[in-house]
Chains A and B, each alone.
Chain A
Amino acid sequence: MQLAGKYLLHAAPPKVWATLMNMDTLAKVVPGISRLEKTGDHTFKSILDIKLGPVSGSFTGNLQLDDLQEPSAFTLKAQQNSRIGNANAAIKINLSPVGTDDTEIVFDGDVKLSGMLASLGQRVMGGVSNTLTKQFFSNLEKELEKTPAS
């Protein structure tokens, strides 16, 4: 499944970057996250509770921030396993400045689903991922508002 979109954030790229690279804020902004544990410089172990239409589940797995090009691009990789199926994602995220104070985030990637997630969840995945993405960015926006401009 393709996951792509863009979002305008009211902060400059360096600040957005710093926020995204901070594990504590990441734990707050990723929807459904119940546990996030650092396992390496840019790798995390995570537990996510997510409802996808007719199926819901607790996902455990790894999150990884890769191909870091501060402050303009990185790739978010996720391998998540659950009793309702596994999800594997690699999403390229680009941050580009808009004017002096804003950042446009463009993301594009592929999510591979298996098991019940694929056979029952696929139909609603588009809608669910839209909702989750919106939640993510609105959470991120709130976090950015909290921290003073750097």
Chain B
Amino acid sequence: MSTNGLIGRAIKRVEDKRFLTGHGNYTDDIVLPKQTYASFVRSQYAHARLLNVDTSAAKEMPGVVAIYTGTDLVDVNGVPCGWQVNFKNGDTMKEPKHPLLVADKVRHVGDAIAIVIAETIEQATDAAEAVMVEYEELPCVVDAAKAVQSGAPLVHDDVPNNKSFDWVLGNPIEEVNEAMRKAAHVSTLEFVNQRLVPNAIEPRSYNSSYDPATEKYTLYTSSQNPHLIRLLMCAFVLGIPEHKVRVVSPDVGGGFGSKIFHYTEEALLTWCSKKIGRPVKWTSERSESFLLDAHGRDHITKADMGFDANGKIVALRVKTYANLGAYLSTFSSCVPTYLHGTLMQGLYTTPKINVDVTGVFTNTTPVDAYRGAGRPEATYLLERLIDLAALEMNIDPADLRFRNFIPPFDGVNQPGYQTQVALQYDSGNYEGVLKKGLEMVNYAEVRREQQEAAHNGKLVGIGFSTYIEACGIAPSAIVGSLGCRAGLFESAHVRVQPTGKVSVYTGSHSHGQGHETTFAQVVADKLGINLNDVEIIHGDSEAVAFGMGTYGSRSLSVGGSAIIKSIEKIIEKGKKIAAHKLEASADDIEFSSGKFTVKGTDKSIGFGEVALTAYVPHVYPKDLEPGLDFSSFYDPANFTYPFGCHIAVVEVDKETGKVSLKRFIAVDDVGNVINPMIVEGQIHGGLVQGIGQALFEGAEYDENGQLTNASYMDYCMPRADDFPMFEMGSQVTPCPHNPLGVKGAGEAGTIGAAPAIVNAVIDALWSGGHKVKDIRMPLTSERVWHAMVDA
């Protein structure tokens, strides 16, 4: 295929003009004729039986159109979970109903009790406050490890010990135990990977309407995957025929995973819109976002890593309690299992691995995928353990990694690497990124500075994280065999207009990733046309044939590959049209830089003229259909496996425990790069969220199941002035199994960053003689100070 050099260039994002000038069009901007507004009555308690919900006073309030409670919806299904995980004994996971409105008992603070619909949002809110709820408070449980103990309160009366599933992956535990017994050294960590609130800048918003004339619904939703929402809502919740529902996700202000899932409000508003015959809109308040947008992480883990006398890892054993919250959110079951357990090989040749995960219901907000989703938890575990082992065995942490890395393989001349935990890595050069990281940080020099600092009574630490992630989600057959209830391919429809302009309809929604630029670069490059002759259309189920959406760093590797397939079909047909016009054989036509040329001659015809001929087929091959318009589906052959090396240099204040991040080096190998500026931006954002977890963020529940920091006054978000300039490096190991050779960059920063920071702080404390094994994230001054004083 031809190229005009657009691939690989740092082109400024074309979508930013509308965002920066206030012309973005978000769900909350959409006001429909006869619009009504919804407000919710939500549980104040983490666990309580509903004795009475009295809506009589609220119904008399001005502007109220309708009020529905759980008893109005007992016959309506709940929202489903999209991934089936089985118990070790083969039993299917427990997936109790997640109702649109609760009728019997509330299971977390914020659980929806009633919806109030009124003429204005203020009237709806006022009336919701007038709904009287009588509760019988029940004992609650918020901690996953406590929830599985006998006698713990039951979140769902029919789920014993609050276990949704217990699950195991890897080598038989006996083999792992045996290898661990023989190990010369075992490093052990017991730690919490704390719960995070996703905090997309745009709160969730839905606007649903029903047209009695056509019997069609339209749902505007701030979703990362409108087609998936349509499928789940139609087929599993409301039982509406899919062709009678249009789902549109217009501009969406960030998701980070939290807008993948099918939320109860989407289906409920759709149900209400038909009941009242008017459109219903709801936009989450920020305090509702804190309480209701699916949270991330929340693992309690004990892990052992065994080494032989030469520092080679011989075994890894992991036991994790994953807090799922009160209900199973759409992908909640696969995050701590197939997106977490499958990453336990890391970059190392560990021969024996056993990972055991118990998924637990608690009286908290549901937990699901949040940027990285399972992979940051896996990376945190591995990278903390290996740095700790280095300290304990007195081996340099970089050296310990070099001793254990899987040797380089490109996936073409050398086969992929088969892990002990199901996955087969596509290609990798792990020592390459660490070597580059060591050069960039000037390793010998920073170690010397650390010693000098220690001599002067200062605590300086250097922390590493060499991570891998499974992205490009996902090969349908593989995920199907692992319990996924959907295929994870992507679709792309490329329509060449008669004038040679190109409209691309992609199932990959863009909500901050810059697809409208990156995808256009790919198309314009491959067709040899101008960037502004390409339009990327996404987010509308009536415009785009199908789509599985945007998550798991999949858009370019899966969605982009589908686009390439359609472009190949266009060029192939274009060659036939050109051959006819140029009176040559199609086999003799080559396409380059926007021109179809007869090989070895100067006879050529431009892409625009071929397009026009396709739509004005006066002189045209007899056996060819008019038009230049192709649709494709791409199902990846494997996951993609980006990897990298993050190095943090910190200074810890001896008196106060305050951590200052001095330097952060990130060398990421995300395969081929289409737009380096966008990749760098994605990694920056990811790093900030990863470092945010290490130093600032964390959802805090009290023992009554109340989220005590559900506002920006209480939940510490990272800010620009918390960070030094990131020092970015890159390496390119192309993905061998997709046409662009790309791997994915959306989650890399978040997956790698947190352990590098914590390792650096631990290293700093050891340099001062405080042999601390773990400090619970976020590493506030108080926690670090206590760790120093108590050690």
CA A119 to CA B287, docked complex, whole Å: 8
Separation of A114 and B45 alpha carbons in the complex (Å): 6
A94 within 8 A of B: no
Top-3 shortest CB links A-B: A118-B706, A115-B44, A119-B710
A123 touches B44 (CB 8 A): no
Asked whether, in the complex, the Cβ of B711 is within 8 Å of the Cβ of A119, the reply is yes
- Determine whether B707 belongs to the interface, using a CB cutoff of 8 Å to chain A: yes
Pick the residue among A85, A86, A113, A120 that contacts B714 (CB under 8 A): A120
Q: Which residues 707-754 of B sit at the A interface, judged by CB distance below 8 A?
A: 707-711, 713-714
Scoring B44, B709, B711 by chain A CB atoms within 10 A of each residue's CB, the highest score goes to: B44
Q: Does B430 contact A (CB under 8 A)?
A: no
Q: Using a Cβ cutoff of 8 Å, how many contacts connect chains A and B?
A: 48
* Smallest beta-carbon distance A55→chain B, Å: 10
Contact between B129 and A83, CB atoms less than 8 A apart: yes
Q: Mark A8-25, 1 if CB is under 8 A from B, else 0.
A: 000000000000000000
Residues of A contacting B702 in the complex (Cβ-Cβ under 8 angstroms): 118, 122
Contact B287 A122 (CB under 8 A): no
Range, interface on chain B:
10 to 19
Contact with A along B126-170 (1 / 0, CB 8 A): 000100000000000000000000000000000000000000000
Distance, CA A118 to CA B45, complexed state (A):
10
Residues on B with C-beta less than 8 A from A123 are: 708-709, 713-714
CA distance in complex: A119, B706 (Å): 7
Instruction: Let me know if B711 and A86 touch, CB within 8 A.
Output: no
A144 to B691 alpha-carbon distance, docked (Å): 57
Closest A residue to B132 by beta carbon equals A81
**Cα A38 to Cα B707 with chains together (Å):** 35
Contacts of B290 in A (CB 8 A): 119
Chain A contact residues, CB within 8 Å of chain B: 54, 83, 85-86, 112-116, 118-120, 122-123
Which residue in A83, A112, A114 is a CB contact (below 8 Å) of B109? A114
Cβ of B387 to closest chain A Cβ, rounded Å: 34
- Does B567 reach chain A (CB closer than 8 Å)? no
Q: How far, in whole Å, are A14 and B46 apart by their CA atoms in the complex?
A: 43
- Return chain A residues, CB-CB under 8 Å to B707: 118-119
The answer for the CA separation of A112 and B708 in the assembled complex, in Å, is: 12
Query: What chain A residues lie within 8 Å of B710 (beta carbons)?
Result: 119-120
Which single residue of chain A is at the shortest CB-CB distance from B42? Answer: A115
- Measured CA separation A103–B708 after assembly (Å): 37
Task: Provide the residues of chain A in CB contact with B291, threshold 8 Å.
Answer: 119
Extra contacts, 18 of them, besides A118-B702, A119-B290 (Cβ < 8 A), are A54-B713, A85-B44, A113-B706, A114-B44, A114-B45, A114-B704, A115-B44, A118-B706, A119-B287, A119-B706, A119-B710, A119-B711, A119-B714, A120-B710, A120-B714, A122-B706, A123-B708, A123-B709
Give the Cβ gap from B400 to chain A, nearest Cβ, in Å.
43
From A86, A112, A116, B287 is in contact (CB under 8 Å) with A116
CA distance A112 to B709 in the complex (A): 16
Could you give, for residues 669-701 of chain B, a 1 whenever the CB lies within 8 Å of some chain A CB and a 0 otherwise?
000000000000000000000000000000000
Decide yes or no: A115 and B713 within 8 Å by CB, A85-B44, A122-B706, A122-B708 being known contacts. no
**Neighbouring B residues of A83 by C-beta, 8 Å:** 129
Cα of A113 to Cα of B704 in the assembled complex, Å? 9
Could you list 7 A-B pairs, sorted by A, with CB under 8 Å? A86-B44, A118-B704, A119-B708, A119-B710, A119-B711, A120-B710, A123-B714
Give A85 to B291 CA distance when docked, in angstroms. 14
Contact with A along B102-135 (1 / 0, CB 8 A): 0000000100000000000000000001000000
B109 touches A119 (CB 8 A): yes
Q: A112 — nearest CB in chain B belongs to which residue?
A: B704
Provide the residues of chain B in CB contact with A118, threshold 8 Å.
44, 109, 702, 704, 706-708
- Residue from B707, B708, B713 whose CB has the most chain A CB atoms within 10 Å: B708
| CB proximity to A under 8 Å, residues B391-420 | none
Decide if B109 touches A120 in the complex (CB within 8 Å): no
**How distant is the Cα of A114 from the Cα of B704 in the complex, in angstroms?**
8
Q: Give min CB distance, B134 to chain A, whole Å.
A: 10
Query: Which chain B residues border A119 with CB–CB below 8 Å?
Result: 109, 287, 290-291, 706-711, 714
Specify which of A85, A113, A118, A123 lies most central, judged by the most chain B CB atoms within 10 Å of its CB: A118
Q: How far is the CA of A123 from the CA of B700 in the complex (A)?
A: 12
Kindly report which residue of chain B lies nearest to residue A123, judged by CB atoms.
Answer: B714
Least CB distance, B203 to chain A, in whole angstroms: 16
Contacts of B129 in A (CB 8 A): 83
> Shortest CB–CB separation between residue B705 and chain A, in angstroms?
9
A115 CA / B704 CA spacing, docked (Å) = 11
A21 to B287 alpha-carbon distance, docked (Å)? 40
- Contact of A120 with B704 at beta-carbon distance under 8 Å, contacts A54-B713, A83-B129, A114-B109 already known: no
In the bound assembly, the distance between CA atoms of A83 and B710 in angstroms comes to: 17
Residues of A within 8 A of B45 (CB): 114
CA distance A123 to B712 in the complex (A): 12
Residues on A with C-beta less than 8 A from B109 are 114-115, 118-119
B709 CB contacts on chain A under 8 angstroms:
119, 123
**In the complex with contacts A112-B704, A115-B109, A120-B44 CB distance below 8 A:** no
Interface string of B242-268 (1 = CB under 8 A from A): 000000000000000000000000000
* Complex Cα gap A116–B44 (Å): 8
A7 to B713, CA, bound (A): 32
Specify the chain A residue showing the minimal Cβ separation from B130: A83
The chain A residue with its CB closest to the CB of B125 is A83
0/1 per residue, B601-625, Cβ < 8 Å to A? Answer: 0000000000000000000000000
Complex alpha-carbon distance, A86 and B708, angstroms:
14
In the complex, A119 Cα to B708 Cα: how many Å?
A: 4
Question: A114 contacts which of B287, B706, B711, B713 (Cβ < 8 Å)?
Answer: B706
Question: Least Cβ distance of A70 to chain B in Å?
Answer: 32
CB distance from B789 to the nearest CB of A (A): 24
The chain A residue sitting closest to B48, CB to CB, is: A114
Is B711 within 8 A of A54, CB to CB? yes
Q: Which residue of B lies closest to A114 (CB)?
A: B44
How far is it, in angstroms, between the C-alpha of A112 and the C-alpha of B46 when the chains are bound? 12
Mark contacts of B169-209 with chain A using CB atoms, 8 A cut-off: 1 yes-contact digit, 0 otherwise.
Answer: 00000000000000000000000000000000000000000
B127 to chain A minimum Cβ distance, whole angstroms, is 12
In angstroms, how far is the closest chain A Cβ from the Cβ of B722?
21
Measured between beta carbons, the chain A residues less than 8 angstroms from B706 are 113-115, 118-119, 122
Task: Please give me the residue from chain A that is nearest to B711 by CB atom.
Answer: A120
Shortest Cβ distance from B129 into A: residue:
A83
User: In angstroms, how far is the closest chain A Cβ from the Cβ of B604?
Assistant: 67
Distance in angstroms from A59 CB to nearest chain B CB is 13
What residue in chain A is nearest B291 (Cβ atoms)?
A119
Residues of A within 8 A of B711 (CB): 54, 119-120
Q: Which of B291, B704, B706 has the most CB of A within 10 A?
A: B706
Compute how far the CA of A91 lies from the CA of B290 in the bound complex, rounded to whole angstroms: 32
| B704 / chain A contacts, CB cutoff of 8 Å | 112-114, 118
Cα distance, A86 to B714, chains bound together (Å): 20
Determine the chain B residues whose CB is within 8 A of the CB of A85 once the complex forms: 44
Closest CB of chain B to A39's CB: distance in Å? 18
Query: What string of 1s and 0s marks CB contacts (under 8 Å) between B472-508 and chain A?
Result: 0000000000000000000000000000000000000
Residue of A nearest to B708 (CB): A122
Tell me the smallest distance from the CB of B292 to a CB of chain A, in Å: 12
List residues of chain B with CB within 8 A of the CB of A120: 287, 710-711, 713-714
From residue B42, how far is it (CB to closest CB) to chain A in Å? 8
**What residues of B have a CB within 8 angstroms of the CB of A113 in the complex?**
704, 706
**Bound-state Cα–Cα, A81 to B109, Å:** 16
CB-nearest residue of chain A to B714: A123
Chain B residues 33 to 52 lying within 8 A of chain A, measured CB to CB, are 44-45
